Amino acid sequence: MRESNDIKQRLLKWMRGGSGCFDEMALEVFAFQYSGNEPYRRYCEALGKTPETVDSWLEIPAVPTDVFKLPDVGLRCFPEEEVSGFFLTSGTTREVKGKHEWCDLELYEAAVKGGWREFGLPEMVRPWFFSQRPEVVPHSSLVRMFGILDEAGEWLIDAEGRMDTGKFSPDGPAAVLGTSLALLKACDEMEVMRLPDGSWIFETGGSKGLRKSFSPEEVLGRLSGHFGVPQARILNEYGMTELSSQFYKWGDAETHNGPPWLGVRVVDVATGKLVAPGEAGYLEIIDLANLETVSAIRTQDFAVAVGDREFRLLGRDDAAVARGCSRGVEDVLKQKD
């Protein structure tokens, strides 16, 4: 695995403040994953895509997120005995959850911290997490991200899922972080307040799971009105279990931006081909921090690409959930040599 370690060290150096060329590194990561990830190699071969025929990161085959839900598909570049942990997608107890396995979190942690630095996000000073602690939910990538950002904050949801809003008593500018769902529930349980000037809010994940669903604009308005924080100081994170890196957007912006080791493209829902500039389609993301699994991921979100690592999110394709991973894709991935 010397090749893997060499690529990994160069990626870590880049994510920790160094430099890199995305297109060149993306092709190198693709070649490594094609060689070391057997299910992914079969998938690429079925599409007629190999390191010899792919000349640009725009051509690297992306796997649908539903692939991570398939049982007995080791979508990784390391043997099963080296799996040391995994993240699970959120969902109902009866829903099949996607699993993203890892042998260590070094690239994930570097991507989290590096993305925070690249976007120029505020320094974390005594943050308030409307979340359980990482040790309580070890398979949540978001909660692990919170732990990486700051382990000294106040955690307001206990191991049984009870929210203690009585502990929330900022005496200065506050960083408030949580899922949209948790923060909206907090709004229902707490009196309206005005946080000190300089406070800001981190929210992610939408409001699905409440009795009433809110649009992203309604989430912004409700959080701003309840906590007395300007919408321009409310940060939305776009991330997912299947990725290692994140995109961010302040409330007064129209687009999400990612760090330089991320690439975005938009494809036609029916054909899978790149759409014309300015057109909408499925968002695909190439995340080089996914070195040891699969870097190219097709989401079920509609978006318009604005730049190589910037997009305007339009919403989720709910019909895609019902369609799921096609039988052809599943058969290719599960086939044994």
pLDDT > 70: percent of the chain? 90
Residue 333 above 80 pLDDT? no
* Confidence at 72, pLDDT banded by 50, 70, 90: confident
Could you report the per-residue pLDDT of 37-53, keeping only the tens digit for each?
999 999 999 999 999 99
Inside any domain, residue 133: yes
Which residue(s) pair with 303 in the sheet?
281, 313
Question: Rounded to a whole number, what is the largest CA-CA distance in the chain?
Answer: 62
Could you report the per-residue pLDDT of 186-230, keeping only the tens digit for each?
999 999 999 999 999 999 986 555 556 788 899 999 999 999 999
Which pLDDT does position 207 carry in this prediction?
53
CB 295 within 8 A of CB 26: yes
Same domain (yes/no): 58, 145: no
Which pLDDT does position 73 carry in this prediction?
79
Q: Does the pTM of the predicted model rise above 0.95?
A: no
Which pLDDT does position 262 carry in this prediction?
98
Which secondary-structure segment (H or E) carries 46? helix 38-46
Same domain (yes/no): 231, 160: yes
* Confidence at 320, pLDDT banded by 50, 70, 90: low
Which pLDDT does position 326 carry in this prediction?
44
Which pLDDT does position 32 carry in this prediction?
97
Last residue of a domain, one of 250, 283, 300: 250
Same domain (yes/no): 124, 246: yes
Q: Report how many domains make up the chain.
A: 2
From residue 159, alpha-carbon distances to 2, 86, 89, 212, 274 in Å are: 41, 20, 19, 26, 45
Query: Going by DSSP bridges, is the β-strand pair 296-307/128-130 parallel, antiparallel, or unpaired?
Result: unpaired
Q: Which residues span the domain enclosing 158?
A: 120-250
Which pLDDT does position 74 carry in this prediction?
83
CB 30 within 8 A of CB 50: no
CATH number of the domain within which 60 lies? 2.30.38.10
Residue 323 above 80 pLDDT? no
- Who's near 279: CB < 8 A, 6+ residues apart? 266, 304
Which pLDDT does position 125 carry in this prediction?
82
Please tell me the distance from the alpha carbon of residue 263 to that of residue 16, in angstroms, as a whole number.
18
Could you report the per-residue pLDDT of 225-255, keeping only the tens digit for each?
999 999 999 999 999 999 999 999 999 999 9
Please tell me the distance from the alpha carbon of residue 37 to that of residue 79, in angstroms, as a whole number.
10
Same domain (yes/no): 221, 262: no
Q: What is the mean pLDDT of the chain?
A: 90
Burial call 74-107: b when 16+ CB within 10 Å, e when fewer: ebbbbeeeeeeebbbbbeeeeeeebbbbbbebeb
Same domain (yes/no): 128, 211: yes
Inside any domain, residue 110: no
Could you report the per-residue pLDDT of 169-179, keeping only the tens digit for each?
999 999 999 99
Q: Which two tokens stand for residue 71?
A: 């049982």
* Confidence at 317, pLDDT banded by 50, 70, 90: confident
Which pLDDT does position 178 carry in this prediction?
96
Beta-carbon count within 10 A of 58 CB: 15
Inside any domain, residue 97: no
Last residue of a domain, one of 216, 250, 284: 250
